[in-house]
Chains A and B, each alone.
Chain A
Amino acid sequence: MSTIRLKGGRVYDPANGVDGETRDIGMRDGRIVALHPREEADHEYDVSGCVVMAGGIDLHTHIGGGKVNLARMMLPEDHRANRARDSLLELASNGCCTPGTLETGYRYAQMGYTAAFEPAMLAANARHAHMEMGDTPILDHGAYVMLGNEELFLEMLARGEDFERIRDYVGWSIDASKAMGVKVVNPGGISAFKFNQRKLDVDENHVHWQVTPRHVVHTLARALTELGVPHPLHIHASNLGVAGNIESTLATIDALDGLPGHLTHIQFHSYGKEGPKKFSSATRQLIEKVKAAPNVSIDVGQIIFGQTVTASGDTMRQFANADLGSPRKYVGGDIECDAGCGVVPFRYREQSYVNALQWAIGLEIFLLMDDPWRVVLTTDHPNGGPFTSYPHLIRLLMDKSFRDEQLARLHPDVAASVDLREIGRELSLYEIAIMTRAAPARLLGLADRGQLGVGAAADIAVYREDADREAMFATPEYVFKDGRLVARQGRLEAVPVGGTHFLETEFDPGIEKTIEQYAQRHLSVSYRNAKIGNDELCSCANGGALLACKVHGRRGGK
């Protein structure tokens, strides 16, 4: 069995409380091991002058599934430029906002990321999502199944079905779609839009089912808690992008009633309606609330200036923004009594008051939140900006003077007034390691990832120290995936197929009868094809490892 030693690097491993100590890291058989200092390793890398971290984990990135592929098809202009291939291992695959899956895997790995999670997998589109992720090389992956807008779920809520039955339904849905968690998008709102409702506040009734987003959120959060699902309910809250939506965001946190919840791309949900433009930052209100709610974690969804495309299940909000598209085109769909999708290309501009403020709000959230374990670094790829801008974002967070330079370019009214000007904080490498590795691993329940302790998977990124943090994080010196060198100074060395993380839930199989009857009456696919088995997952996911996690429910109580 071959062994590898990384010698003399400064190690940042927050899961184990290691903050920049110089130490060696050993690897054997894809795992981190303790090598005796005198034991000769088969491969030894001198990493003095380098920073060693676990491989990055992106817990919210739209990398696979129907809407991502529609975004690719609608934006050939994003895929025309051919980057010179660094290595014969790379196949032709292009794009920046929505790269091909191959390019996605290559670029993430070249940045030191080793896992990525698709947050919006429709049950009706689950096979497709797993196929795309299976064709995203090197990275391990997983997905959250979108619930809370299917007609069956809403019908059960509306008729006052026993909670236990709904919990079984949620457990079944995770199992059937081979998901790693559950996401709710505009709770009830995607369905409401199909009934021509254009707005849905947290305590407003769905026009047809007469249930509220509050009820949807609480029910799902409780179901996940009782099923023992490690990742808290992943929540894309009501009223995305609407001025004054801080009210719905705070109400959504209240709806959790202390249950675990992860509010995603929170930047898009932290707007007030003060000031001359009736659009303002509500960061302070948000942070105060999140600080006081230890059950809540967030990721930011930072916007990055330039061209991107927004792809979301939130048809209600995406259609409302269709006219803002740049270039002006729109894809939308109502899907299988399950959910929907909306795709709007978008260009964030520094001289736009709204965009400039969005940019500042995102950074303020990172910098004002006191507990990095509850904040994950994301751009909601590609919605706020492509994932390839992470090194730039890290520099913004670590370098006050760089941040000020950027701030000076913004719309003058924003540059002159935002709180961000006054915030001197610069995040440390330790904090960055939390927000990009340790915290997402913990929030996903990945015990052996996002850390460098003995026994953990040997997913490791080694960055050469550089005062320019953007350059440093863009091109790691070495990247290892399961103990295998996959990239060296940005050049790919190996392109293994990644594994699929998914949960095995416990539920009363009696619920299948209800689902079968519903499918027979309302849906277009036989119930027998609603479930993805392990063998089928393996073929969808291109033969990668099946990283199943068995979860045990805590039925009948909190």
Chain B
Amino acid sequence: MNATTQTQNPDSSGSSGQDWTCPFCSLLCDGFRVESQQGGLKLVGSDCSKAVQGLASFGPVPSAPSATVDGREVSPDAALDAAAERLAASRMPLFGGLATDVAGMRQLVRLANQRGAILDHARGDTLMPVLRTLQDRGQMFSTLAEIRNRADLVVCIGTDAASNFPEFLRRCAPVEGAAFARRTVFVGASAPAGLQGEVDEVAPHGDLFDAVAMLGALIDGRRLPAADAALEGLAQAMRASTYCVVVFEPGRLPAQGTLITEAVLRIVMSLNRKTRAGAFMLGGADGLQTANAVTTWMSGLPLRSRVGPLGLDHDPVQYASERLLQEGAVDLLLWVASLGPKPEPPATALPRIVLGHPALAADCAAAGTVFIQVATPGINADGHLFRADGVVTLPLRALRDDGLPTVAGVAKALEVRLAVRRLATEDRP
């Protein structure tokens, strides 16, 4: 980790790409630059592995936007016609993946309304523990700037808070000359190298479920017969801190992770009776936060909802993509992966419509699949994404124009085609 970038946003003024916002994880860093080099894109100002990897998936400018139907190269219009036809024939489509920006998601919700589609994100399984905790008990959160300016104690539960979000600990490191010292404690995870301030690791006995349950009980001041000494010390430190932030990563939670997210909430609520604290969730990547926010505001219900002429139906368990596909409960998959080559569309015998990154072309050449290459916000399209905290929305600006359509553009074109088909049907005697 680069210690020199820890205390300030890296300087990024004065050359091309200075307004770049990175789409490759949900931290949406907007302090780095990208330079175009021999047809490739190079990150300047950070060594973030996520960004480097993401940029590497955009090589030389593609010669022409392409689309395929059942593996045959076709014109974009022909691909849209084929996609519309298959959508129109579907009685219960699943819109999955949903790695797209605000504009794309707005349009996908409209399209879903036409066909009564179920909406779920590729990372829906990581959203559900958090969402169900929110629905059952609530949430108490903090955001990056608050952590940076206030948090004297950061407790990372079951995550090194770095592997999947390399810039996180750098971006919330205390400001230079801060009036407090930062201590970072990793519970059930190893600390990443090179972290400033006091760093500790706590390896509790038992699993993460036991650890958070015991930590919660200790923070509540309950006397336990066989308390883990390290957790006891940690609980004491959390109660003594002026602003404690508990970090967890939904993508790393074991099955039944809701028990852990609930325990984290209880811990934070309990701390707030006497001192101040908040939770921070390292999640929401691949546009998950965005897809969930847009679906919720337009319809009133979050992801894993069916939207259509008969209204809404939300089911966090039943409407999981994997389950729907396995059980054959849907008859078509529309998959959206515009923020990079991942998430890949699941293999299925059902008809597939894939709006994806060009690198997915090979995977989408099978019979039964319509593949339409789409642009990536922040690389070859403008757009907006929601940050991990769900509060900050940032603009993404195109670095170049590859002539690719946006997800919003494709979804709109499909909506228009479906509307025309419906009118034609209604006109028939």
Q: List chain A positions with a Cβ less than 8 A from chain B.
A: 64, 66, 68-70, 72-76, 78-80, 82-83, 85, 91-95, 98-103, 122, 124-125, 127-128, 131-132, 135, 151, 193-196, 319, 322, 329-338, 343, 519-526, 528-529, 536, 539-540, 542
Contact = CB atoms under 8 A, between A and B. Distances in A.
Contacts of B145: 336-338, 522-525
Nearest to A540: B384
Contacts of B113: 91-92
B309 A85 contact: yes
Nearest to A196: B276
B5 interface: no
A524 B148 contact: yes
29 contacts: A70-B134, A72-B300, A85-B311, A91-B109, A91-B113, A92-B307, A92-B311, A93-B299, A93-B312, A102-B298, A103-B300, A124-B143, A124-B392, A125-B393, A127-B393, A131-B297, A194-B276, A330-B137, A330-B269, A331-B140, A332-B138, A336-B391, A520-B8, A524-B171, A524-B172, A525-B145, A526-B9, A526-B19, A542-B106
B140 A102 contact: no
A521 B30 contact: no
B293 interface: yes
A151 B144 CA distance: 15
Contacts of A330: 137-138, 140, 269
A93 B299 CA distance: 4
The 3 closest A-B pairs by CB, nearest first: A82-B311, A100-B300, A524-B144
A529 B146 CA distance: 18
A74 B395 contact: no
Contacts of A94: 299-301, 311-312
Given A73-B296, A74-B138, A79 B301 contact: yes
Contact of A335 (B140, B146, B384, B393): B146
A151 B145 CA distance: 11
A474 to B, nearest CB: 21
Given A334-B142, A524-B171, A329 B137 contact: yes
Contacts of B139: 70, 74, 331-333
Contacts of A322: 269
Interface in B164-191: 171-172, 175-176
Contacts of A80: 312, 314
B21 interface: yes
A558 B8 CA distance: 41
B315 to A, nearest CB: 10
Contacts of A122: 391
Contacts of B389: 333
A335 B293 contact: no
B172 to A, nearest CB: 7
Do most interface residues of chain B lie in helix, strand or loop, or is the interface mixed?
mixed
> How big is the B interface, by class?
35 or more
A338 B143 CA distance: 10
Nearest to B11: A520
B343 to A, nearest CB: 22
B386 A333 contact: no
B214 interface: no
Nearest to A133: B297
B213 interface: no
Interface of B: 8-9, 12, 18-19, 21, 30-31, 102-103, 106, 109-110, 113, 131, 134-146, 148-150, 171-172, 175-176, 242-243, 269, 272, 275-276, 278, 292-294, 296-302, 307-312, 314, 382, 384, 386, 389-395
Nearest to B278: A334
A93 B301 CA distance: 8
Contact of B140 (A151, A332, A522): A332
A323 to B, nearest CB: 10
Contacts of B140: 330-333
A255 B297 CA distance: 38
Which of B135, B307, B312 counts the most chain A CB atoms within 10 A?
B312
Given A194-B243, A329-B135, 11 more contacts: A70-B390, A72-B300, A73-B131, A80-B312, A330-B269, A333-B141, A334-B142, A336-B144, A336-B146, A526-B9, A542-B106
A66 B243 CA distance: 23
Nearest to A85: B309
Contact of A128 (B138, B309, B312, B391): B391
A473 B420 CA distance: 37
A194 to B, nearest CB: 6
Given A124-B392, A525-B30, A526-B9, A72 B297 contact: yes
A193 to B, nearest CB: 8
B314 A79 contact: yes
Contacts of A92: 113, 299, 307-312
Nearest to A95: B300
A82 B146 contact: no
Contact of A100 (B21, B171, B242, B297): B297
B103 A539 contact: yes
Given A128-B391, A333-B140, A73 B134 contact: yes
A72 B8 CA distance: 36
B153 to A, nearest CB: 14
Nearest to B110: A91
Nearest to B171: A524
A305 B364 CA distance: 55
A135 B298 contact: yes
B362 to A, nearest CB: 33
A78 B296 CA distance: 12
Nearest to A342: B140
